[in-house]
Structures are given as structure tokens and as C-alpha cells.
Amino acid sequence: MPKGTAEVATEAARANSLLSPRFYTTDFAAMDRLDLAGVRAEWDAMMAEYEGDNNHDHFQRDEAFGPELAAAQADWSPLLRQEFLDFLISSVTSEFSGCVLYQEVARRVEHPELKALMRYMARDEARHAGFINQSLKDFGMGVDLGALKRTKAATFFKPKFIYYATYLSEKIGYARYITIFRQLERHPDKRFHPIFRWFERWCNDEFRHGESFALILRAQPELLRGLNLLWVRFFLLAVYATMYVRDHTRPTLHEAMGLDSDDYDFTVFRITTEISRQVFPLSLQTDAPAFRAGLRRLVDLSARMEVAKARGGLVGALSKAGLAAQALVCFARLYLHPVDRHALPAQIRVAPAW
Ligand SMILES: [Fe+2]
Ligand SMILES: [Fe+2]
């Protein structure tokens, strides 16, 4: 049987590499000690929104979906097809890893409000993952989400790391989806798959998930000052750099949307940075020339590491190790690049206005 089947897709989704989405587990008893007193009013308003569930009927295909896909697909190059499927597989994995994490927290914590929140978010992510998986199934590449849950290894993270990482991944997820949606709204001729029509209301879910973690973080001010700011800096850089390197392996996908991978990523960074001022008192200078040069170098090193890996043998292994050391130095330089500092706003929540 030729490769390119559901098994291959599930295997790709299961592989843990530095760049692929992960599954997480945490210290649930510590999560139970969360005190929401400081953010009560905004928390209650947010929970009412989840209860209202304005997207309950959004994740269903309309009648135009099938014909639109059939027409668009005729123009895809093999490379676009490959990059797009790769994009869908990594998206479904990250949607589903959110779903599994939120379900797990909902199941394991005693804290009634945290439990309720996690159930709502797991509900949303299950819809997102299911909707993407339907599009993979069109190509016989559906990921077996049940098998993935049973067999993909989970990484342990302290609650505060879960909060920093999920806050950022929800907000960056919003910024990515809205940037694509706006671009294709301006250039409908570049919409090479109907799924992009769903992105606007979709990313409002992600935005709200990010708001939830913003409130959780602001309810624990000690996580946003002192030495913890070193962690904030680390997570910002890790999330941004990972996205940048991964996106630069898919130039054809962005080109098909009329986007340049670089412009797209820096737009996403600007939006994410603007939003994250609600919670982080510092932000990365992603538009500074030295910072940009460092990111480009990471892309270059990562591409050379792929070549070394493909070469194999002792020479390949040695050259890969050398390149990895250089990448580490490059990452450290980016980490030490100056950051902008700002005070946190009294009102935490912001509207998805991009
Ligand atoms: Fe999602
Ligand atoms: Fe989300």
C-alpha cells in the first residue's frame, strides 16, 4: 500500500520533534489553589460568553464546501498539496492536544470554576480538531485522534508553564488565523480551500481561550514579575522562534495565499505582542534588525540540520551536533536581546479587533 494514508498522518501527528505540537500533563493539585478573587468581574463575564456558545453551529460544512474544494483542488501543485496537508496535520495535532489537555485538567481538578472553564475549552477544541480532520479525511489522511490520545507521549509541565505556553499558543493561534482570514478576504481568488472561510469565527474561540489564561495569569501576579519574567521571556521566544522556523518550511503554502512567510510571521508577531501587553509586562523587539537576523539564522541552521540528518553516518551526526550547538548559541543571543517594558493595564480583557 502506498504511503500517504491515514496511518502515515497519525504517525506524523504522533512524532515528537522540537517543532511539532506536544501533549502536556501537569500538577493538578497545585492548580486547585487558584484564587480568582482579583479578576472576579471579568471572569464571570467571560464564563457567560462560554455558556452562550455563539459558535455551537459554526463547525459544519455548508453546501458550497464540496464544489468549492473540487474546483480549487484542480489548480494545486503537488508541493502546495503536500505543504497544505502538512499544515492541516500540525493544526489538527495542536487543536487536539489542547482538547486533551483541557479535558484532562477538567477531569483531575477539584476547583469548580477551573473545571467548568476547561470543559468549555475542550468542547471548542474538539470541534476545531474534528473540523480539520474532516478535511484530512477528504484526502484519506484523517488522523486517528483516539489512537493519538492513547499513544502520544505527554510532557510534564508545572502549572505556571502550562499557563504561559497555552496563553501564548491561543493568542498566536488567533493572530495566525485572523491574518490568513483578512488576507483571503482581500484576495478571495487566493482562497485555495474552503476551510479558510471558517477562520474568523474560529479564531474568536482561540481569542477567548487566550483571554481565559490572561485572567488566570493576572489572578496570580507573582507569575508576572521578578524572576518569573525570565520564564516569560523564554516562552515568548520559544513560541515565536518555533513558529518562525516551522513556517519557513512552507513557503509554497503562504505564496498560494499571496503571502510571504516573513511578512506573515512578523504580522502575527506584532498582533500577538500587542495583545500580550494585557498580561506580560515585557515584549520582544521582533522588528529590530538584530532580532530578525537571529531568527533567519535559526531557519538556516535548521535547514542545514535537516540535510545533515538525511546524510546520516558519523559525518552527518557530527555536523548535526555542531549545528545544534550553533542554534543554541543563536537562541541564547536572541534571548539576551533587549526587550520593551510596559505597565499592565487595569482592565485585563481586550476585544478581538484585528
Ligand atoms: Fe482551537
Ligand atoms: Fe484554543
Ligand 1 geometric centre to CA of 126 (Å) = 8
Q: What is the pTM of this model?
A: 0.91
Q: What are phi and psi of 154, to 5 degrees?
A: -105, 140
Contact 21, 187 (CB under 8 A): no
Q: Give the contacts of 317 (CB within 8 A, at least 6 positions apart).
A: 308
Residue 290: its pLDDT value, please?
97
Q: Is residue 204 part of a domain?
A: yes
All three cell numbers of 189, joined, read 481568488
Identity at 165, one-letter amino acid code: A
Q: Is residue 342 part of a domain?
A: no
**pLDDT, mean of each 10-residue run, the chain (354 residues):** 58 58 82 95 96 89 93 92 92 89 93 97 95 92 81 84 95 96 95 94 95 98 96 97 93 94 96 97 97 97 93 90 96 97 95 90
Q: Is residue 335 part of a domain?
A: no
> Which residues on neighbouring strands pair with residue 25, listed in sequence order?
156
Ligand 2 geometric centre to CA of 190 (Å) = 26
Closest CA to 179 of 266, 59, 277, 288: 266
Ligand 2 geometric centre to CA of 101 (Å) = 11
Contact 16, 146 (CB under 8 A): no
Ligand nearest to the CA of 168: 2
Q: Give the contacts of 177 (CB within 8 A, at least 6 positions apart).
A: 199, 200, 202, 203, 206
Q: Is residue 187 part of a domain?
A: yes
Maximum Cα interatomic distance, the chain, rounded to a whole number of Å: 61
Ligand nearest to the CA of 177: 1
**Residue 21 to residues 12, 240, 246, 269, Cα–Cα distance (Å):** 11, 14, 11, 19
Ligand nearest to the CA of 93: 1
3-state secondary structure of 353: coil
Identity at 32, one-letter amino acid code: D
Residue 13: its pLDDT value, please?
63
- Work out the number of other CB atoms within 10 angstroms of the CB of residue 159: 20
Q: How far apart are CA 231 and CA 166, in angstroms?
A: 14
Ligand 1 geometric centre to CA of 19 (Å) = 18
Residue 2: its pLDDT value, please?
43
Q: Is 161 exposed, middle or buried (0-12, 13-18, 19+ CB in 10 A)?
A: middle
Closest CA to 88 of 149, 125, 129: 129
Ligand 1 geometric centre to CA of 108 (Å) = 21
Ligand 1 geometric centre to CA of 310 (Å) = 33
Ligand 2 geometric centre to CA of 136 (Å) = 20
Ligand 2 geometric centre to CA of 98 (Å) = 7
Q: Is residue 292 part of a domain?
A: no
Q: Which domain holds residue 15?
A: 6-24+36-55+64-284
Ligand 1 geometric centre to CA of 274 (Å) = 20
Ligand 1 geometric centre to CA of 228 (Å) = 27
All three cell numbers of 203, joined, read 479564531
Ligand nearest to the CA of 120: 2
All three cell numbers of 276, joined, read 500580550
Residue 3: its pLDDT value, please?
47
Q: How many CA atoms within 13 Å lie on the side-chain side of 72? A: 20
Count the domains in the chain: 1
Ligand nearest to the CA of 209: 2
Q: Is residue 29 part of a domain?
A: no
Ligand 1 geometric centre to CA of 8 (Å) = 23
Residue 1: its pLDDT value, please?
37
- Work out the number of other CB atoms within 10 angstroms of the CB of residue 35: 9
Ligand nearest to the CA of 170: 2
Contact 128, 100 (CB under 8 A): no
Contact 124, 111 (CB under 8 A): no
Question: What is the residue-wise DSSP string for 326-350?
Answer: HHHHHHHHHHHS-EEE-PPPSS---
Ligand 1 geometric centre to CA of 125 (Å) = 4
Instruction: Quote the distance between the C-alpha of residue 23 and its chain's center.
Output: 12
Closest CA to 246 of 324, 176, 147: 176
Residue 148: its pLDDT value, please?
77
Q: How far apart are CA 46 and CA 52, in angstroms?
A: 10
DSSP label at residue 3: S
CATH code of the domain containing 40? 1.10.620.20
Q: Is residue 111 part of a domain?
A: yes
Q: Is residue 50 part of a domain?
A: yes
